[in-house]
Amino acid sequence: MRRYYIMFAYIGIASWTFSILFHTRDFKLTEQLDYFAAGGSILYGLYYTPIRIFRMDQGIKEKSSLLRAWTSFCIIMYVVHVAYLKLYRWDYTYNMAANVVVGVIHNAMWSWFSLKRYRKLGEFWATWPGIAVAWILMAMSLELLDFPPLWGCLDAHSLWHMGTIGPTILWYNFLLKDAEEDMATHRLKA
């Protein structure tokens, strides 16, 4: 899973970099880069979720064929999404709906995994993905329940960004703990 998590980090860095650029320099190009990077980040989250949950990264022939098909499908989805927005019509409603659908699927999978893993291991850290999902959903409500800026600077969108800091730290700690558990399990099997 290491290479998937490294790619997740790079995509996250790109996503936050383009977000910073757009929020400091609001131009058509910076807006598009922000939206495309955010969409890529959400889709990559969906991409690696079944790879981890169903261990598609482990070298069984059937799983490697499935992994290639899943990778191709996700790349095609992203290219079609960007092409639609860039070449056909820039549509905020469609973009938001597409990202919400991908995010809901991704979050449902991690919530299911979290519950299943907690029941199997009985370890509190196994609940962290579910907690991160709930936290993100609460923070996302700020986006949906928009309000005018407080004191001329704190609007719902800025608070949404601030609300994603905690789940990011929790998620990072989950990935570390999950990797430790995975390595320990492999050592025991060897």
Q: Which structural domain, as residue segments, surrounds residue 118? A: 91-190
What is the pLDDT, as a whole number, of residue 60?
76
Q: Are 89 and 109 in contact (CB under 8 A)?
A: no
Of 54, 89, 124, the domain-final residue: 89
Question: Do 100 and 115 belong together in one domain?
Answer: yes
Residues 99, 155, single domain; the answer is: yes
Give 35-84 pLDDT, tens digit per residue: 999 999 999 999 999 999 999 988 777 788 899 999 999 999 999 999 99
Q: What is the per-residue pLDDT for 49? A: 96
Whether residues 99 and 188 fall in one domain: yes
- On whether the CB atoms of residues 125 and 170 are closer than 8 A, the answer is no
Is a pLDDT exceeding 60 seen at residue 128? yes
Boundary-marking domain end, from 89, 106, 130: 89
Confidence band for 188, pLDDT divided at 50, 70 and 90: low
Give the contacts of 70 (CB within 8 A, at least 6 positions apart).
Answer: 47, 50, 51, 56
3-state secondary structure of 82: helix
* Residues 96 and 52 placed together within one structural domain of the fold: no
Q: Domain boundary at 70, 89, 108, which? A: 89
What's 58's DSSP letter?
S
Give yes or no: residues 189 and 119 share one domain. yes
| Residue 151 φ/ψ, nearest 5 degrees | 55, 25
pLDDT of residue 81: 98
* CA 39 vs CA 7, 33, 75, 109, 186: distances in Å: 15, 10, 12, 18, 34
